[in-house]
Amino acid sequence: MQRIGVFVCHCGSNIAGTVDVKRVVEAIRTEPGVIHAEDYPYMCSEAGQQLIAKAIEEHKLTGIVVCSCSPRMHEATFRKAAANAGINSFMVEIANIREHCSWIHKDVEEGTEKAVILARAAIAKLNLDTPLQPGESRVVKRALVIGGGIAGIQSALDIADAGYEVDIVEKTPSIGGRMSQLDKTFPTLDCSACILTPKMVEAAAHEKINIYTYSEVEKVSGFVGDFKVDIRKKARYVDSTKCTGCGLCQEKCPSKKAPSEFNRGLNTRSAIYTPFAQAIPNVPVIDTENCLKFKTGKCGICQKICAAGAVDYEQQDEIITREYGAIVVATGFDTIKLDKYDEYAYSQSKDVVTSLELERIMNAAGPTKGHLERLSDGKAPKNIVFIQCVGSRCSDGRGKSYCSKICCMYTAKHAMLIRDKYPDTNVTVFYIDVRTPGKNFDEFYRRAVEDYHVNYVKGQVGKVMPQPDGSLLVQGVDLIDNKQIKMNADMVVLATAIEPDPSVRNIATMLTASIDTNNFLTESHAKLRPVESPTAGVFLSGVCQGPKDIPETVAQAGAAAVKAIGLLAKDKLTTNPCTAQADILLCNGCSTCANVCPYGAISYENIQINDHGIREERRVAVVNNALCQGCGACTVACPSGAMDLQGFSNRQILAEVDAICR
Amino acid sequence: MHANNQAEKIKEISGVNPYKCMKCGKCSASCPSYNEMDIKPHQFVSYVINDDVEALVESKSLWKCLSCFACVERCPRNVEPGKLVDAARQLVVRQRGMDYLQADEIPELLDSELPQQLLVSAFRKYKR
Ligand SMILES: Cc1cc2nc3c(=O)[nH]c(=O)nc-3n(C[C@H](O)[C@H](O)[C@H](O)COP(=O)(O)OP(=O)(O)OC[C@H]3O[C@@H](n4cnc5c(N)ncnc54)[C@H](O)[C@@H]3O)c2cc1C
Ligand code: SF4
Ligand code: SF4
Ligand code: SF4
Ligand code: SF4
C-alpha cells in the first residue's frame, strides 16, 4: 500500500479564485492511500517545496500528488523536489487544477467539484505507480541545418564556431536563399550581395562546415541527440571536384530558353547553369528537362568544351546517410501565387510585378541590368503604383490571414530607391496601415514621404485594368479624402504575401515537428521557447517559423544555434523511462504495433517461451527504449492487450477513469 | 433602442458581421457607383456598427448601389458590405408593409432611377 501525500496549490488567486482549496484538501483526505493532505499559496516556491520535503520525511510518504498548474509548467520542479527528499521522481503525479479547471470555470462550486475529481484520479493512478529509472542515450556531436538561406548560414556558422561539425543541406544549386535575390536592404540600404557573400564564403571555407547543395533530406529516424538522416544528393552531371567554375559551358550551351528561377522567370538561362555569379559552390548543374542531350541524345557540347573534363552525363543521385545530435530547420519562404487575385491583372500584364520581381529588375545582375524599365516594352515607367498587403491580412480564403511583416518596409525602400535614382518618376503607395515598428524603421518610412515625396494613400486598389495603349488604369480609393481615384500607371508593384516554403510540410512530417495552419513551424512555447520545436532536438531558424526581416532572422538563427550548441555540449541525455513494453505471454506477434509506431521503435524477435509449462518458440514484439517516445499508439492498437506503457499502464488509466466516474 | 433594433435586423437579414471589417477600403475602391453615393461602401459597415441605420436608410446610396457585388467579391475580410445595403433596402421595403418582394408589386415600386440590377438582386436573395 502506498503512503500518499496530497499538496493543493492556490497559485495565488489563479486557482484559489475559483476552487475552494480547503474543501479539496478535506474531500480527498479519506481517499485510499492518502496519509497526509495540505494546501499552500505557492507550492512551486522554495517554501512550498520545503513543505513537501518535510511531509515526505515526517509521514514516510512513498508518493505525492500535487494539485497545481499544468505538468508542462512544474512537473520537473516537483519531481526534483521529491527526488531530493528521497523518493523516486516517478512517484509524483500532477493534478492539473489550473489550466484544466480554475481557468476555465467561473463558478466556485463547479470548479471545486472538478478539482476534487481530478485529484482523486491522480491519487488512483499514483496507487498503481512503480518507481522508474531513466536511462541514458548518446549525443552525436554534429548538427544538421536544413536550408541554406541567411538563417541556415548564420546558424551553421555559430554552431561551427563553437567547435561542432555542421552539415548544411540546401535544395537549390547554391546557398544564399532569398537574400541573394534582393538588391538593397532596409533600413540601411546596403547592397544585399555585399553583406551576404562574405557570409556565404565564410561558411564554405569553414573547416567544420560541410555544404550539400542541390540536395534534399529524404528520411529522418532516431531522436534527440541521435538522429539518422538520409540526404539525397541530386546528380549535378558536373563533377564538383574537377569543375574550375570557368563558365564556358554555360556560354556555349545552345539550349538557353529555360526560365531563370533566380530571376523569378523574368528572363532565361542555359540548360547547364549556376543560378547567379556569386553562387556557392560555383559549380553548374544540368537541368535535364531542358538539356538537349537528355531530351534528344544529341548535343554534348558542354562535355566537349569543358577543359577540366568535369561534365558527366552518367552521374547518379547519391544517398548519404549521416548521424546528427541536433537539427536546425531554416527552410525559409516564398511569395504566394497570385492566381486568385485577378483584379490586379498580374497574369494579364507584364508590367504588373511582385516586389520580389522588382528586386530583380532593380538589381544590376537582373534581367534589365538594373535599369528600371517596363518588361513589356522596355520603356522607363513615369508613374508607378505600389499596392501593399496583397494576399496578406486576407481572411476570405484567397490569401493569408497574417501580416507578412516585411512588405511595409520593403515597399518604402523600393519607393525611396526609385525616387532617388529616377526623380522624374511619380510613386504612389496604396496602404491599409503602414506597419513599421523597429529600430529606425518608422524614420525610414517617414523619409520616403518627407524627403522623397512618395505619395502614400490610405486605401486600397479595387482593380487594375490594362489599357489598349499599354498603360494600366488603377482604380483605388483615398479613405482620408473620401475619394475614388482613377489613375494611369506604367507599372504596378504588388507587395505579395509570403508563405513558408511548401517543402516544409514534408520536412515537418519527417521530423515529427508540428506546423500551424499556415505551415509555419510551431515553437515549443510562443514566448518562452521561441526557437525550439516541441520535438526535442529540433530548432527553428528564420522565416520558416514566422515572417521576419533579415536582422530578426539573424538574431533568431543565433538563438537556435545556441540551443543546438547547448545540446551538443552534453555527453549524455537522460531518457524518458515511460516507454512501451510488450507482455511476451500475451503478444502473438501480429505486427499491428510496429505499423502504428511513428518512431519505428518496435521490432520482432523469435524467442523461447515457457507458457504455463508449454515450451515453444514465438514471435514477439520488442520495443527499443531509446527510440520509443511513450506516445502510447501501440498500446491502443494491440489486439491482445499485450502492449503497456510504463508509468501510464492500462490499469492505471482505467483506475483514473473509475475514480472520475465514481 | 429603436436604432439598435434596426442595426440588429440588418445584421440578421444580411448575415454580415461588420466587426470583421479592417477599414481597408477595398470595397469602395471596387465600387462602380462610388461617385453617386453619399455614404460610401466602406462606410455602410461603420454606420451599422454605430447603429446609425436611419442615415443609411435615408441615404442616396441605397438606391445607387447596383448590387454588382464587386465589394462582396473582393473584400479581404469576407465582410460583404453590399449585403448590408441590400438588407437596408429590404428594411425599407418591409417598412412599407411588405415582408417579401412580390413580383406583381414591382411596377408600383419601380421608379426610373432604380437600377435594374437591384430588382434582379432582390429576387436572387429574398425570393424562395
Ligand atoms: C521582396 C522582398 C524584399 C525584402 N527586402 C528586405 C530588406 O530590404 N531587408 C530585410 O531585412 N529583409 C528583407 N526581406 C526579407 C528577407 O528576404 C528574409 O528575412 C530572409 O531572406 C529570411 O531568410 P531565411 O533564411 O529564413 O529564408 P530564405 O531566404 O527563404 O532561405 C531558405 C533557404 O532554404 C532552402 N530550402 C527551402 N526548403 C528546403 C528544403 N526542404 N530542403 C533544403 N533546403 C530548403 C531555400 O532554397 C533557401 O535557400 C525581403 C523579402 C522580400 C520578399
Ligand atoms: S549537353 Fe545539355 S547542358 Fe550541355 S551544352 Fe548541350 S544542351 Fe547544354
Ligand atoms: S507588412 Fe504592411 S504591407 Fe505587409 S501585410 Fe503587413 S501591413 Fe500589409
Ligand atoms: S473591403 Fe471589407 S474589410 Fe475592407 S473596408 Fe470594405 S468591408 Fe471593410
Ligand atoms: S454591390 Fe453596391 S456597394 Fe458593392 S460594389 Fe456593387 S454597387 Fe458598390
Domain annotation for chain B: domains and CATH numbers: 3-100 (1.10.1060.10)
A149 lies in the same domain as A263: no
Task: Indicate the residue of B42, B70, B78 with minimum beta-carbon distance to A479.
Answer: B42
Kindly give, in sequence order, each residue whose CB lies less than 8 Å from that of residue A195, ignoring residues fewer than 6 positions away. A185
Site from B22, B26, B45 to mutate, A interface, most A CB atoms within 10 angstroms: B26
Which residues, given as ranges, of chain A have pLDDT below 50? none
Which residues of chain A are within 8 Å of residue B20 when distances are taken between CB atoms?
A: 395
Q: A-chain residues within 8 Å CB-CB of B26?
A: 460-462, 477
Residues A185-209: b if buried by 16+ CB within 10 A, e if exposed:
bbbeeeebbeebbebbeebbebebb
For A149: left if phi > 0, alpha if psi spans -120 to 50, otherwise beta; the answer is beta
DSSP-derived letter for residue A502 is T
Q: Does A459 touch chain B (CB under 8 A)?
A: yes
Domain assignment of residue A47, given as a range:
4-126
pLDDT at site B1: 42
Is A433's C-beta closer than 6 angstroms to any atom of ligand 3? yes
Looking at A455-591, list the stretches that DSSP marks H as alpha helix, in order from N- to C-terminal side. Answer: 504-511, 550-568
Residues A146-159 as b/e (b if ≥16 CB within 10 A, e otherwise) read bbbbbbbbbbbbbb
Contact B76 A396 (CB under 8 A): yes
A347 & A416 share domain: yes
Do A432 and B22 lie within an 8 Å CB cutoff? yes
Look at residue A260 and give its three-state secondary structure: coil
User: Is A189 found in the same domain as A95?
Assistant: no
Please tell me the predicted confidence (pLDDT) of residue B3: 46
Q: Cβ separation of A461 and B26 shorter than 8 Å?
A: yes
Pocket test for ligand 3, best of A393, A394, A461, A494 (most atoms within 8 A of CB): A393
| Whether residue A47 is found in the same domain as residue A122 | yes
User: Which run of H or E residues covers position A26?
Assistant: helix A21-28
Quote the pLDDT of residue A491.
98
pLDDT of residue B128: 37
pTM, 2 dp = 0.87
Dihedrals φ, ψ of A38, to 5°?
A: -155, 165
Name the closest residue on chain B to residue A387, using Cα atoms.
Answer: B26
A365 and A480 share one domain: yes
- If you measure CA to CA, which chain A residue comes closest to B35? A484
Q: A111 and A72 share a domain?
A: yes
The verdict on A9 and A80 lying in the same domain is yes
Closest-CA distance of chain B to residue A476, Å: 4
Does A131 map to a domain?
A: no
Tell whether A253 and A172 lie within a shared domain: no
Whether residue B49 contacts residue A499, with contact meaning beta carbons closer than 8 Å, is answered with no
Contact state of B76 with A459 under an 8 Å Cβ cutoff = no
Taking CA–CA distances from A395, the nearest residue in chain B reads: B77
Residue A102 and residue A41 share a domain:
yes
Whether chain A has a CB inside 8 Å of the CB on B74: the answer is yes
Indicate which residue's Cα is closest to atom 8 of ligand 4. B21
- Give me A243's grid cell: 569543375
Answer yes or no: is A661 within a domain: no
At residue A73, the 3 state secondary structure works out as helix
Is the CB of A558 inside a 6 Å radius of any atom of ligand 1? no
- Please state the domain count of chain A: 5
Please state, in angstroms and rounded to a whole number, the distance separating the CA atoms of residues A208 and A604: 40
Same domain, A205 and A341: no
Instruction: Give residue A627's pLDDT.
Output: 80
A198 in the same domain as A117: no
CATH of residue A447's domain is: 3.50.50.60
How far apart (Å, rounded) are the C-alpha atoms in residues A190 and A208? Answer: 29
Q: Is B56 in the pocket of ligand 5 (CB under 6 A)?
A: no
Question: Looking at the complex, does the CB of residue A395 fall below 8 Å from at least one CB of chain B?
Answer: yes
**Run of H or E residues at A614:** strand A614-623
- Note the pLDDT tens digit of each residue in A275-320: 999 999 999 999 999 999 999 999 999 999 999 999 999 999 999 9
Does any domain span residue A573?
no
Question: Does residue B65 belong to the interface with chain A, where contact is any CB pair within 8 Å?
Answer: no
pLDDT at A600: 81
| Domain CATH code at residue A116 | 3.40.50.960
Pair (A354, A327) in one structural domain:
no
* Ordered per-residue pLDDT tens for chain B, 128 residues: 444 588 999 999 999 999 999 999 999 999 999 999 999 999 999 999 999 999 999 999 999 999 999 999 999 999 999 999 999 988 887 766 555 556 676 677 677 776 666 666 666 555 43
For ligand 5, whether the C-beta of B62 sits within 6 Å is no
pLDDT at B4 (0 to 100): 55
Dist CA A194 CA A192 (whole Å): 5
Ligand with smallest separation from the Cα of A248 = 2
What pLDDT was estimated at residue B122?
A: 64
Q: Is A71 on the interface with B (CB under 8 A)?
A: no
Assigned domain for A96 exists? yes
